[in-house]
């Protein structure tokens, strides 16, 4: 499924009907996501943060899907969907604070970078193990169905997650009980280093949904408007009581799996360069330029705004103190058990406390 043609015009049969202002906002959000990603990757390379998972090349699949969901709908992310969170208005400073694990981090330094959450934005906490978030999303959608709420759930995962037990358990449950959930599969070509053709015997990932009698679509995930159109259709199906939808978002991870990955080991420069020619940002930009609402000057101005914003957020994050050590022990028990109180006190006394007590 494609909406944006090579010349920047739209297929009128598939056009999701966004206003030109909405399309420009979508493009600007994708650019902002990329600039934030790039800055944080460079920050990690400088040793100032520990880790980063980027979305280079996948912005249309992520931000486009978020734009099609309603504000009252829930997002259950993988670890690459911060663009969806920022689309919903999450403060960039809070995200950067999280990446530093400082005192402003909502997770209080207790999670890996890129594993944040926002109850206010209906964005669930990231779970690192592959596929574990998919049953969580189906359970959330079942609660929505039982309460008869006009909401749905969009759960993101990569192609590698379709090989997990949790994926199939969740799909089977959704097929039987018909909760309002959208399975948003970012097929970016690799499960870390394993190419998708070595992960499955099926020709596509979308056809897996047929076994569970779940409607499915295969979409050009680098076409932001095609993503919006497909996800909107799934939202409408869920709102009308039609149950789940599986959407395969065909895209490509232009960067590494994370800052701990070296993608040159398992793919060629020629392959990456071929996909750069299908970059989702220039494709959407070509459309808004065709509509005479965007220009080189506007593009440069917006990129400069985003660069300044993330630079300031990084500066403020580095000025803040680290999260308190005592936070390791809080937010689990209503009343801290005696053994954790002892460990907390020992930790606060300093790194030599345990050794000294053992010596005595």
Active site residue 52: no
The active-site residue, picked from 253, 283, 285, 287, is 253
Per-position DSSP letters for 133-197, written without gaps between them: HHHHHHHHHHHHHHHT-S--EEEEEEGGGGGSHHHHHHHHHHHHH--SEEEEEEE-SEETTEEGG
Active site residue 253: yes
Active site residue 168: no
Of the candidates 167, 96, 95, the residue with the CA atom closest to the CA atom of residue 131: 167
The active-site residue, picked from 257, 283, 285, 287, is 257
What are the CA-CA distances from residue 196 to residues 205, 216, 243, 263, 280 (Å)? 9, 18, 28, 15, 20
How would you class 346 by CB atoms within 10 Å of its CB: exposed for 0-12, middle for 13-18, buried for 19 or more? middle
What are the CA-CA distances from residue 309 to residues 66, 88, 111 (Å)? 22, 17, 24
Q: How many CB atoms lie within 10 A of CB 230?
A: 29
Convert 70-99 to b/e letters by CB count within 10 Å (16 or more is b): eeebbbbbbbbbbbbbbbbebebbbbbbbb
Strand 245-250 with 190-191, pairing: unpaired
The active-site residue, picked from 45, 213, 266, 276, is 266
Tokens of 21: 């202002």
Report the catalytic residues.
253, 257, 266
């Amino acid at each position: 499924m494609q909406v944006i043609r090579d010349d920047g015009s739209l297929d009128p049969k598939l056009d999701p009907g966004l206003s030109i202002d909405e399309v420009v906002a979508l493009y600007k959000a994708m650019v902002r996501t990329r600039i934030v990603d790039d800055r944080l990757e460079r920050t990690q390379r400088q040793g100032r943060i520990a880790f980063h998972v980027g979305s280079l090349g996948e912005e249309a699949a992520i931000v486009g899907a978020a734009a099609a969901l309603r504000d009252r709908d829930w997002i259950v992310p993988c670890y690459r969907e911060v663009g969806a969170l920022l689309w919903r208005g999450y403060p960039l400073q809070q995200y950067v604070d999280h990446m530093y694990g400082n005192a402003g981090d909502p997770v209080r330094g207790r999670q890996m970078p890129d594993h944040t959450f926002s109850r206010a934005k209906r964005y669930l906490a990231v779970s690192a193990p592959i596929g574990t978030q998919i049953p969580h999303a189906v359970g959330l959608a079942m609660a929505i169905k039982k309460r008869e709420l006009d909401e749905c759930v969009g759960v993101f995962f990569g192609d590698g997650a379709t090989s997990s037990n949790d994926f199939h358990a969740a799909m089977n449950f959704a097929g039987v009980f018909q909760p309002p959930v959208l399975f948003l599969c970012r097929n970016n070509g690799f499960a870390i280093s394993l190419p998708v053709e070595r992960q499955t015997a099926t020709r596509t990932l979308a056809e897996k949904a047929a076994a569970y009698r779940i409607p499915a679509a295969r979409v050009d995930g680098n076409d932001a408007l095609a993503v919006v159109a497909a996800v909107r259709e799934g939202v409408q199906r869920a709102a009308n009581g039609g149950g789940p939808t599986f959407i395969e978002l065909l895209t490509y991870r232009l960067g590494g799996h994370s800052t701990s990955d070296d993608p040159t080991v398992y793919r060629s420069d020629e392959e990456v360069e071929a996909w750069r020619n299908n970059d989702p940002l220039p494709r959407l930009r070509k459309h808004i330029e065709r509509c005479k609402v965007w220009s080189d000057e506007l593009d440069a101005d917006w990129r400069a705004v985003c660069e300044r914003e993330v630079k300031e957020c990084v500066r403020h994050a580095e000025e803040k103190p680290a999260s308190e050590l005592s936070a390791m022990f809080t937010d689990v028990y209503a009343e801290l058990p005696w053994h954790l109180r002892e460990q907390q006190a020992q930790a606060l006394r300093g790194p030599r406390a345990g050794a000294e007590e053992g010596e005595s």
